[in-house]
Structure 1
């Protein structure tokens, strides 16, 4: 799994508008070159309505959450954004040797395509932007992929830990942030069978499945190791952990453990905050 390189986290740097603009253009150009100018990569692009027969893993996350300071309008706009993006990915078939690119398939979220302002997190600050909220979809796909034999080849961790652990249902750091086009989620199919991504936006939940041609061969469990909170030299607090995957064989019950990645995130709340004061849902 290719993850962002670990280094000591620093406080957010306040860059000028021109510097931010130039940086986005640079990384966008590199991404377009990867998508359209690099030979040898076979990109997943075909969708089919006929479902592959075997469910490998399925998961659902709530559409509406009680988050402090978030406008209700942005949550409903997020649902609109999720419907548009999910429609672009639903039914995509990932064949052996192919690579799935989240943003290559969805395309740039724009108002012309119907995307609305949703909540975004930038340098530790909550704001709004067109297509905001699509991290919920990349989080879902990433989490499901960890429970399959597919290989995540590019994923970006969240640089800030925004909410306390009240009601968390998954380990800290098990999400995948996204920003068009360079903060992508890419998945490679190194197996010998086709996989199919199925997504839908229900009344209350975003729902996803990875399906395949053959029955499930292994079961997976994601566990946390070495969790800790440290105060950085600049005064802020850094939350750290490591995630591993336990693989269970269905025939003889043998188990192996695989290291996935390490997480470091700047905490945006007090590490001494009582759980009773958290008041937020923080599962991905």
Structure 2
């Protein structure tokens, strides 16, 4: 439980560096440029981190949750993803999973970054905050959006075993619809994911 409390403090420190940021036309948002090195000296706490598929602890642990959220926000806006790294390991089963597999973004200071580019002629402001129970977000713009975005999973596949391990793959597509009529205007491939599963994907006989 203490790791969870520490993660909240880490999120609070990182959010303070990002909340309210306005991404101007032709500007690039960099997660680590804004958050900086999550060191003990800067107040960051030991939190849960994933190292080669294994759960460990490190200062700033839990910041991937913030990167996941910003990536998901971007996919539901006209902003473009310039740099995003997928998770190489699928560590947790789908119980209570609300988003498609592979819809997150991993970060590790300072070489695995999340970068968002504004290729539009409009300003976009990132708003982030914590409540007692949730990490919340909003994107504001100086131009009303005429589009609605939906992320869908296709071609999901679990293969193996090879040396006792299974691989999980899928593709994520983004549907762009007219906000007022719901007419589908475009569908584009966002990313292809491939991760080594760190749990058994199949139930044992009799379970």
1:214 aligns with 2:143: yes
User: What per-residue deviation string (whole Å, max 9, x for no partner) do you get for residues 193-226 of structure 1?
Assistant: 0000111111101111111111121000000000
1:125-274 matches, within 5 Å, as: 125-231=54-160, 233-252=162-181, 253-273=183-203
Q: Which protein has the bigger strand share?
A: 2
Q: TM-score, normalised by structure 2?
A: 0.95
Aligned to 1:86: 15
Higher relative contact order (CA 8 A, sep 6+): 1
**Are 2:73 and 1:123 aligned?**
no
- Equivalent-residue separation in structure 1 for 2:8 and 2:184 (angstroms): 41
Aligned-CA RMSD value: 1.4
Match of 1:26 in 2: none
Q: TM-score, normalised by structure 1?
A: 0.70
Shift of 1:254: 3.6
Q: Is the 8 A contact 2:153 2:172 kept in 1?
A: yes
CA contact (8 A) 2:175 2:184 kept: no
For the residues of structure 2 that align with 1:159 and 1:234, how far apart are their CA atoms?
Answer: 17
Q: Structure 2 vs 1, CA of residues 208 and 273 (structure 1 numbering), >3 Å: closer, same or farther?
A: farther
State the distance in 2 between where 1:235 and 1:255 align.
Answer: 43
